[in-house]
Structure 1
């Protein structure tokens, strides 16, 4: 493996980072803005819990389909064209959601928005990884994740700012995402496609030009060396098939990443994001500030947890970070149950029980962001050889989104039907199951080369005695 060419951040690399971060913000905004908008939609159209939940669920269903076709679409038309399509579609379907004259058409618009989101979840990390200089690639991928949380916060903030705009406030909440979507589409149109995609299409001259723009300090020999590395990587990735995921030795790895993807969402993080206004209202915070701004404050703790995880993952390893985050979520759900028990089922203007409940929600977000949120794609990328990596990531994402759809569709029904205490007890039990699953099946891959990690799965889920020792990371 060659050392990456040391390069400085170029104007093109900066545009890549800005475009990716902007799409991350839009994605996060579209994830949380329905939390505020649904209250006004529910009131205007006199919706029950089932149809109110459908506003969130239909997006997730679209995401599942978008994720399934996203990789094929990006390979077919190119990374740049796929990204431009995503940006333009965000704008179109955000506006369609805002002007929808009926609930049925609103659901159609939100389904199409979800389809776009699903494609973006697949395409954006690929576009960044293939467009950014090696020196700044990791930071740019982290920037996308960070920007997504910023977008979630903005969804709540704009919900609060627009809450007093009358019955049509939800139209502004949903439609405002079109503005940054148009701007980022204009930026994306200025970017070239990735050198790796050009190489996959046997367009070497264009690949060489794209690589020269991304790494202007690299000389001709270094450019040719990187192109040779791409040719070899493309050969290594060929020949894999979906069936191989379910055969030994990688069936165990498939079981692990699919199970991990499912537990990431079934433990309830998006119940917190989609229905925070309802949860806070149920805890006695009934004014607009309590319903829409307190969820934004909660997400600030998530940002801090992501930063801490990023600086500790290569020091302490994958398992401690993941197990620590999930354990924090277990404590958080116990705290939520205590809050509801303190309130006797009825919170009065917040009070001591409301404060305990707020702390519980903060701990849920901290635990998730520190563990699951930071490590989900690390394991997806490390568990499989190159030829199976895309299939494995897709399988993990599909399991993640299916669990997300279940949570979106039934959380409000559980809260209103079973009560908050029972609802969070269910999430707590599922989180304990996730903790046991990770403890049993998650390998510690810190400091090991990707090639060596395959030995773990080939040896029945244990490291062979002759396996290469982990590479010590800098303290």
Structure 2
């Protein structure tokens, strides 16, 4: 009830900018799942037979995402957060259509890489946009809204794959993503840019106008003055070279190491292996390739349950805090990994890893493991990565910092995307989930030791944590 009250009492402008930005997550989520649904049908069309080749095909988009994430922060600083999001949504629609029209593997690869560039830019820009536009009291919840939209997109992707599976029409599966791309482009055109970006460009009047619309009852003059002081402390918007140099020395070296490792742990623990390859995992449990209800319906159900977890996370992040939510989610992932190892380790004992037949009890245990893995991720990592991406750095470094964090995230995503299917075939489900479980344990210990708690702190004050050697100054403690 607390979050609902805060949302109801927030200004229409604050909700517009948050919803407009968060909806970009729909296209990211849709693309993550529709390639999983289309993969086997694409492989049949283009005669792709090996698991390694399928992994590379899936990872074309990740390669592009890495490039997009590398340049996203700089582009957002130069051209504005809003302009880049509009460009992302429009180009996503174009390259989705191109993917559906591909006539061979090279043309599909080019379209998917370019699509990935658009997505890579979006996952950098959206957290910046929301963090810089949201009122402090609901900033965490509005950042988590991006994950809500992402999971909704994943569900849509699986449901469409389920509906089209009997026809094997992978072209519509990929090309249909153009529809939300166009709709989101139109929505974004109505949103303003952020007050902090206007301040970075010296447009004080525009910054004041938008800040007053976002928080009509707030101290607009005080907020603008705080932004100016924070920008003055960083000597304006640095070049990429100077910005990276500042990130690699004190006091922000600690922040840089934190976001790089956090971003890497988010993906190396394996969530996108679940999203991309859920149909293959379901088949590895013994379901027939023709059982479309199980192969596509069960992954969709897993995501629906995960969506509930995101809403819970959204309601708690500004009350419990970032660290408790994140640690709880990772802990659930560790438990899920143990269940998956038990499922394949005992249920498939003595069987060929490429031709497993689990009985009903182990199938149910495996499905529970998938559910818990997804619930743990969406509650913790999936929600908090966008929070920390938007909050970790001061305004003049936020673009580069977000790019750095999400590039690390995507590098780990690429590793998992390429390696998961061959590893599944080589070691079976027990081996691959044991590896992911070890990474989850390491991630838990890392967060426990190094993650800052930013709940309730003004965005411009978070730099004080890093400037004080990874501790909050006594006079700046949150209530």
Shared fold, TM over 0.5: yes
| Cα pair distance change 1:204/1:384, threshold 3 Å | closer
Tell me the equivalent position of 2:42.
Answer: 41
Tell me the equivalent position of 1:264.
Answer: 266
Q: Summarize the alignment of residues 284-323 of structure 1 with structure 2, pairs less than 5 Å apart.
A: 284-286=286-288, 287-323=291-327
Distance in 1, Cα, partners of 2:123 & 2:387? 15
| Cα pair distance change 1:120/1:330, threshold 3 Å | same
1:396-428 deviation digits (Å, cap 9, x = unpaired): 211111101100111011111221111111111
Q: Does 1:467 align with 2:474?
A: yes
Moved more, 76-85 or 103-112: 76-85
Tell me the equivalent position of 1:24.
Answer: 25
Distance in 2, Cα, partners of 1:34 & 1:343? 28
Q: Answer whether contact 1:62 1:118 (CA < 8 A) is retained.
A: yes
Query: Alpha-carbon deviation of 1:158?
Result: 0.6
Q: Does 1:159 align with 2:154?
A: no
Q: Summarize the alignment of residues 48-447 of structure 1 with structure 2, pairs less than 5 Å apart.
A: 48-131=50-133, 139-166=141-168, 169-207=169-207, 210=210, 214-215=213-214, 226-238=223-235, 241-286=243-288, 287-340=291-344, 341-344=346-349, 345=351, 347-348=356-357, 351-446=360-455
| Cα pair distance change 1:394/1:470, threshold 3 Å | same
Query: Alpha-carbon deviation of 1:315?
Result: 4.2
Query: Alpha-carbon deviation of 1:204?
Result: 4.3
TM-score w.r.t. the length of structure 2 is 0.86
Tell me the equivalent position of 2:3.
Answer: none
Corresponding residue SS for 2:317: helix
| Cα pair distance change 1:200/1:318, threshold 3 Å | closer
Tell me the C-alpha RMSD between the 2 structures.
3.0
Query: Alpha-carbon deviation of 1:460?
Result: 5.2
Structure 2, unaligned stretches of length 5 or more? 1-5
Distance in 1, Cα, partners of 2:366 & 2:359? 9
1:356-379 deviation digits (Å, cap 9, x = unpaired): 110111111111122212222434
Distance in 2, Cα, partners of 1:104 & 1:163? 24
| Cα pair distance change 1:171/1:441, threshold 3 Å | same
1:174-229 deviation digits (Å, cap 9, x = unpaired): 000111211222233344444443343334455455556x359579xx65555444
Distance in 1, Cα, partners of 2:263 & 2:247? 15
Q: Answer whether contact 1:347 1:354 (CA < 8 A) is retained.
A: no
Distance in 2, Cα, partners of 1:253 & 1:13? 28
Q: Answer whether contact 1:285 1:350 (CA < 8 A) is retained.
A: no
| Cα pair distance change 1:396/1:187, threshold 3 Å | closer
TM-score w.r.t. the length of structure 1 is 0.87
Distance in 1, Cα, partners of 2:281 & 2:434? 14
Moved more, 247-256 or 424-433: 247-256
Distance in 2, Cα, partners of 1:165 & 1:366? 31
Moved more, 108-117 or 69-78: 69-78
Distance in 1, Cα, partners of 2:138 & 2:276? 33
| Cα pair distance change 1:470/1:448, threshold 3 Å | farther
| Cα pair distance change 1:347/1:33, threshold 3 Å | same
Q: Answer whether contact 2:196 2:395 (CA < 8 A) is retained.
A: no
Distance in 1, Cα, partners of 2:280 & 2:340? 14
| Cα pair distance change 1:332/1:192, threshold 3 Å | closer
Q: How many residues align?
A: 460
Moved more, 360-369 or 75-84: 75-84
| Cα pair distance change 1:258/1:276, threshold 3 Å | same
Corresponding residue SS for 2:128: helix
| Cα pair distance change 1:318/1:14, threshold 3 Å | closer
Distance in 2, Cα, partners of 1:455 & 1:131? 21
Corresponding residue SS for 1:248: coil
